[in-house]
Chains A and B, each alone.
Chain A
Amino acid sequence: MVLVYSDEKNLLLELIHLGKDLAKDEHKKVTAVIIGPDHHSKDYIMHGADVVVVVDCAIHPFKAEEYTDILAEVIKENKSEIVLIGSNKNGKELAPRLAAFFDTGCITDGTKVYMKDKKLTVERIVYSGNAVSVEQFTSKPEIVTIPSKVVDPLPKDENHKGDIIKKTIPVKPSPSKIVSVHQMKSESVNVEAAEIIVSCGRGLKNKQDIHLISELADVLKGRTVGCSRPIAADLKWLSEDHWIGLSGHKVKPKLYIAAGISGQIQHIAGMRDSGVVVAINKDPDALIFKSADYGIVGDLYEILPKLTTAIKAKME
């Protein structure tokens, strides 16, 4: 049995597809789990789920301790052998706790998941993008977290049949509580799908100067602005959907321009699959030049306006 869970609908749709692929050879069923009120169970079935278990527990905001107990109960009952969990931050704190519960293996952020010699095999990025580790389980259940966009959801099939099972599971309340939830401003940028990205780092002196980056992005087809972790996480000049790197988004545009970014390995981890990489940095020894195809040493405040004008002229 394959069990899939995420608190994000799209991610769960993707996991159902992945679960189907893994279940295929052995004709296993894919069970999707919803914790909380049933919103999308029919969608999950039309996108391939064989069973949807809806654990309806009044209003239940996510807490890893409680969700671990709930999922553990479903996994036991379902006799799940493979458990796929969406790798957002909630999923990433849930999966290892679940693994502790079952005293089993867990692999986070699997970028490739497949059967090899009938064994579940997972590849994950290690050493900040320098290597890929290929791992297998020697215990069950096999728990893996999967980031978004590893696969697309299956196309919708109105005729696909599946069971919806409602359940109530008593949970021991955790000694922690949620005091408040503050939604952050998001610009809904999709850097992962961008063809061209112009990215900025701490070489920028003020938030207002981001226009230098976006103007260059605007003349290039692609129009997407990215940034390093400090710009999103420390300074909060851009929302986290712009954040590229090991702990941010992984991108592979045709062209990646990094302005005022030092090129630390954790940033490179997010953009190393880019096509052409351009670096602009005033420090001739900046690491970013080692990870770039082309670079200009100099002040981005001088270079960016000139580059924008020159590219605009060239493209006309």
Chain B
Amino acid sequence: MNIVVCAKQVVDVSEIKIDPQTQKPIITGIAKKISDIDKNALEEGIRIKEKHGGKITVISVGSADVKERIKELLAMGADEGVLVVPPDNADYAMISHILAGVIKKIGSYDIVLCGEASIDMFSGQMGPRIAGFLGIPQITYAQKVSAEKDHVVSERNLGDKIVTMESLYPVLITVTKEINVPRLPSLMQILGSASKPLLIWPMDGVVSGQLIHKISTIDVKGVPMQRKNIVYKDDIDKSVEKLVNDLAKEGVLR
């Protein structure tokens, strides 16, 4: 089974602060990591490989420092990493062209795995876009994947219902956070990952022709949140009493 996992480096959104002067989110200098659900996608890939054998290629479009992040994924169990550095301010259309181009260049693939959404942009676009470019079926929001030899059965969690789908290969699947618990690599695996191939592919050879923006971001406005942060820590009875008085004063107990 040839498995491709798409993994994106994101800023740790929980660290973002709003600049009080400009009212813009401060993004530079914030810790970066692999988007959480992409690790679930890789974990699912590893489990499929454990069952059927094969190869897992992790691919990412991002800045050169994503190399360090890909090493973590190689330690987890991916066999090979491919990174492509995109043009500045690339939008979804451009990045999806690159990812689809990388997958086409890899050539033989049975399952492409993505996260249901990336935790910084949370748009859930990339998976369906790639599946569209590759002309293969897609199963999104998968909470369960059972990969068999010649087909896959997967449960889509739509919130109000579960739709069980079956597909032939190749197929693109986007997974939810609930599908599994990603493993932590052992020290041995971390050391071993250094010898696994991690390639940086140039853009030419991956996409033909010029990539064109389809969206322009004209502004990013910070959304600050101000709270009173009054916390009662002592005696529970007293705390409850104070809280109830506060709520009465706030006028929410009517």
Count the A residues whose beta carbon is within 8 Å of the partner chain — how many?
96
**Contact: A176 with B132, CB < 8 Å?**
no
- What CA separation (Å) do A64 and B125 show in the bound complex? 13
In the complex, the chain B residue whose C-beta lies closest to that of A123 is B221
Complex interface: stretch among B71-79, B104-112, B184-192, B210-218 = B210-218
Complex interface: stretch among B39-47, B82-90, B194-202, B228-236 = B228-236
A252 proximal to B (CB < 8 A):
no
Given contacts A103-B93, A105-B93, A294-B246, contact A136 B14 (CB under 8 A): no
Closest CB of chain B to A91's CB: distance in Å?
Answer: 10
Among A63, A181, A296, point to the contact of B239 (Cβ < 8 A).
A296
Closest CB of chain A to B121's CB: distance in Å?
Answer: 6
Within 8 A of B (CB), among A265-284: 265-266, 268, 272, 275-279, 284
In the complex, the chain A residue whose C-beta lies closest to that of B121 is A126
**Contact: B168 with A127, CB < 8 Å?**
no
Instruction: Give me 19 other A-B pairs in contact (C-beta within 8 A), A106-B92, A289-B229 excluded.
Output: A95-B128, A97-B128, A101-B132, A103-B93, A105-B92, A131-B220, A134-B217, A137-B215, A138-B212, A175-B167, A175-B171, A182-B161, A183-B160, A184-B159, A246-B122, A294-B243, A294-B246, A297-B239, A303-B239
List, in ascending order, chain B residues with CB within 8 A of A170's CB: none
- What CA separation (Å) do A155 and B138 show in the bound complex? 38
List, in ascending order, chain B residues with CB within 8 A of A182's CB: 161-164
- What CA separation (Å) do A220 and B161 show in the bound complex? 31
A17 proximal to B (CB < 8 A):
no
Within 8 A of A (CB), among B173-189: 174, 176-178
**Contact: B128 with A93, CB < 8 Å?**
yes
Given contacts A108-B124, A130-B16, contact A298 B239 (CB under 8 A): yes
CB-defined A-B contacts under 8 Å, sample of 16: A64-B140, A93-B140, A96-B124, A100-B129, A100-B133, A125-B122, A127-B16, A131-B16, A132-B220, A138-B212, A138-B213, A246-B122, A291-B225, A297-B239, A310-B241, A315-B253
- What residues make up the interface of B, taking CB atoms closer than 8 Å to A? 11, 13-14, 16, 18, 24-25, 27, 91-93, 96, 116-117, 119-133, 136-141, 153, 156-168, 171, 174, 176-178, 212-223, 225, 227-233, 236-237, 239-241, 243-244, 246-248, 250, 252-254
- What CA separation (Å) do A235 and B7 show in the bound complex? 27
Given contacts A138-B215, A306-B237, contact A289 B177 (CB under 8 A): no
- What CA separation (Å) do A92 and B125 show in the bound complex? 8
List, in ascending order, chain B residues with CB within 8 A of A289's CB: 229, 231
List, in ascending order, chain B residues with CB within 8 A of A177's CB: 165-167
- What residues make up the interface of A, taking CB atoms closer than 8 Å to B? 63-65, 68, 88-90, 92-101, 103-109, 121, 124-139, 174-184, 186, 196, 220-221, 229, 233-234, 240-241, 243, 246-247, 254-255, 264-266, 268, 272, 275-279, 284, 287, 289-298, 302-303, 306-307, 310-311, 314-315
List, in ascending order, chain A residues with CB within 8 A of B136's CB: 175
List, in ascending order, chain A residues with CB within 8 A of B93's CB: 99, 103-105, 139
Given contacts A136-B218, A138-B216, A292-B229, contact A186 B178 (CB under 8 A): no
List, in ascending order, chain B residues with CB within 8 A of A124's CB: 123
- What CA separation (Å) do A124 and B122 show in the bound complex? 10
Closest CB of chain A to B226's CB: distance in Å?
Answer: 9
Given contacts A127-B16, A296-B231, A297-B231, contact A132 B221 (CB under 8 A): yes
